[in-house]
Structure 1
């Protein structure tokens, strides 16, 4: 059993979810150091130094695990623990995040990613899509640099990278016989994603407007975390869909959140950026049938047998796929199959992969 120091510079959302889940399920002893989940650019600039200050007189761990919204080189220098093996868990990369209108990409933070990936002893990407998107886009990025062209990351980064999805809290369903939608009840649509621009909620509400205009009845549960600068379409939706909305706003209680997942019939994502999709996996594990764009990490996460029914290519296709899915002759059978497939993403399965990687890293380092 190893002593691990886990550094989480952005302790919120999926980063917090992963860190907490890892600590609950791993066989190793883990100490967690965190910084609040805000000011992500400042975290990438300063978190390494701040964590080095926080360790004080702590005993040197056997291994450091960190996520990538920090400067790993800065941490290694100021902590003096550079010889310890470091595993970097890569939730996102700065070349793949969609920009708002008029916004320019800050390539300084792309360089931070690149530096981190070279310095980490082992890299864990949460999806093949995440790894591929960085490697492919970095080639184009490097051509824009004035001189001192960097090493092509294709071989170096791929050779020390593995793909391990974040463990998910699978929703237990012991009532498969009750999955089928009640005949006299309109379908319940679920939004359980962040209320932010990269999730592209405008296209989701556009879909619902089409249903409403065609007098197709539905109910709507708008969950997910909101923020001060959340898109205005959520406020507009509260008025536009006042007759359909059965819940509006973030659900604090995990028990209540799972209750809504068990009630929902369909979950839709229209995201412009996604490297895995924890909220979608949680919903699918409860038997909620998904509609996902045929891009980003979704085709990788969704089992192939569901691609025909549940992946769409554009807005019109989304509407057509939804109508077909609503009229599917055996939705209950689809749900049962989906629930069984999602078990692979549960923490009980994922932790075995993470523990094995940690053991292998320690053995190579001569610390096991």
Structure 2
């Protein structure tokens, strides 16, 4: 039996988007064509993706399909207007992130334009899929707040209609290479992995405050710092690497999957300081390998993890760091808790859910 044809458009194809797209194309009953735009020039991607996809493959964009699946950095409304063959194709918009949830202190001036791309794309799509409830609720709440700024002629029930065609579908994580078991016992020392992009939105200033407080208390804690680096490294991370060498076992991007998993296996705790996060794939992968999560009680984390693993993530960086280090001190004295069970997020567990979600 011939498989139905489907097209996947990924507008900003970073590591997690690639992992997600590979899972979709390998585990759902379609014959997939894929166009993925390199993860650079984000602002241009948000507005120029409908043109750039054709520059990569006009042949694929001109074919006929039974399903069109696009990520939220693609202007789906423009895509389905520009390409007549796609105008009546059932379409799904997948939100790895949305443009309504920027931390206020770092909101770019062009964000309203990006928000309108998300909104018009969502209105055009037949179905909306979000990786977490935090992502969905921040999108719908953001749309509602944006509409309140319109001076007049605001359509009624728009947010309700978007909500009615939305559903949750998390990005799956790989099953662990091995199963680590822990017993709650007194811990003489702890090793923490911080595995995030070296950028502002992962709040390296909070990480620096945590380092300072650990040093002041002389806690037996060491770190592995890993994640993608870019041309400009935040000052806080430079200060951490220069001032706390004795506490850092490794501070670079680990390209090898095998070496990365080995680093996760060596760590006791995975730490997040993020201000801007929609699912937390890196944290979830570390937890699946046996790391205990230490996370702020905001963003998507309270939807996935219980309060046992969360520190107070509000107030100044110093106040948040105090809450995180207090939990660390407790674990040093009383032992680590059991790692959360994330088997429901494993790839094998989500195959049937994805097949059902992509059906029409």
Q: Give the CA RMSD over aligned residues.
A: 2.2
Instruction: Specify whether residues 82 and 121 from structure 1 end up closer, same or farther in structure 2 by C-alpha distance, changes over 3 A only.
Output: same
Q: For 1:1-368, what aligned pairs fall within 5 Å after superposition?
A: 1-52=3-54, 54-56=57-59, 59-80=63-84, 81-100=86-105, 103-104=108-109, 106-176=111-181, 179=182, 186-302=189-305, 304=306, 307-314=307-314, 315=320, 316-329=322-335, 331=336, 334-335=338-339, 338=340, 341-359=341-359, 361=360
How big is each residue's C-alpha offset from its partner over 1:153-212, in whole Å with a ceiling of 9 and x where there is no partner? 321111111101101123232453xx4699896311101111111111111221121111
Whether the 8 Å contact between 2:175 and 2:288 is mirrored in structure 1 is yes
Task: Return the alpha-carbon distance in structure 1 between the equivalents of residues 156 and 278 of structure 2.
Answer: 24
Whether the 8 Å contact between 2:287 and 2:293 is mirrored in structure 1 is yes
TM-score w.r.t. structure 2 length? 0.90
User: Secondary structure in 2 aligned to 1:96?
Assistant: coil
Structure 2: tracts of 5 or more residues without a match:
315-319
Instruction: Specify whether residues 223 and 280 from structure 1 end up closer, same or farther in structure 2 by C-alpha distance, changes over 3 A only.
Output: same
How big is each residue's C-alpha offset from its partner over 1:71-105, in whole Å with a ceiling of 9 and x where there is no partner? 11211122211111111101111110225458435
Task: Return the alpha-carbon distance in structure 1 between the equivalents of residues 212 and 75 of structure 2.
Answer: 44
How big is each residue's C-alpha offset from its partner over 1:34-90, in whole Å with a ceiling of 9 and x where there is no partner? 111111221121211332452326641211111011211211122211111111101
TM-score w.r.t. structure 1 length? 0.88
Deviation, structure 1 residue 288: 0.6
Task: Return the alpha-carbon distance in structure 2 between the equivalents of residues 109 and 313 of structure 1.
Answer: 27
Structure 1: tracts of 5 or more residues without a match:
362-368
Task: Return the alpha-carbon distance in structure 2 between the equivalents of residues 4 and 101 of structure 1.
Answer: 37
Q: Which runs of 4+ in 1 moved over 4 A?
A: 99-103, 179-185
Whether the 8 Å contact between 1:139 and 1:152 is mirrored in structure 2 is no
Deviation, structure 1 residue 284: 0.6
User: Secondary structure in 2 aligned to 1:252?
Assistant: coil
User: Secondary structure in 2 aligned to 1:108?
Assistant: helix
How big is each residue's C-alpha offset from its partner over 1:247-288, in whole Å with a ceiling of 9 and x where there is no partner? 111001000000011110111111112111101100110111
User: Secondary structure in 2 aligned to 1:327?
Assistant: helix
Whether the 8 Å contact between 2:269 and 2:294 is mirrored in structure 1 is yes
Task: Return the alpha-carbon distance in structure 1 between the equivalents of residues 228 and 126 of structure 2.
Answer: 34
Instruction: Specify whether residues 208 and 181 from structure 1 end up closer, same or farther in structure 2 by C-alpha distance, changes over 3 A only.
Output: farther
Task: Return the alpha-carbon distance in structure 1 between the equivalents of residues 356 and 348 of structure 2.
Answer: 13
Paired residues in the alignment total: 349
How big is each residue's C-alpha offset from its partner over 1:267-321, in whole Å with a ceiling of 9 and x where there is no partner? 111111211110110011011111111111110011x3xx134343441322212
Range that drifts further, 214-223 or 148-157: 148-157
Range that drifts further, 23-32 or 243-252: 23-32
Range that drifts further, 244-253 or 144-153: 144-153
Range that drifts further, 198-207 or 319-328: 319-328
Instruction: Specify whether residues 184 and 135 from structure 1 end up closer, same or farther in structure 2 by C-alpha distance, changes over 3 A only.
Output: closer
2:317 aligns with none
Range that drifts further, 140-149 or 72-81: 140-149
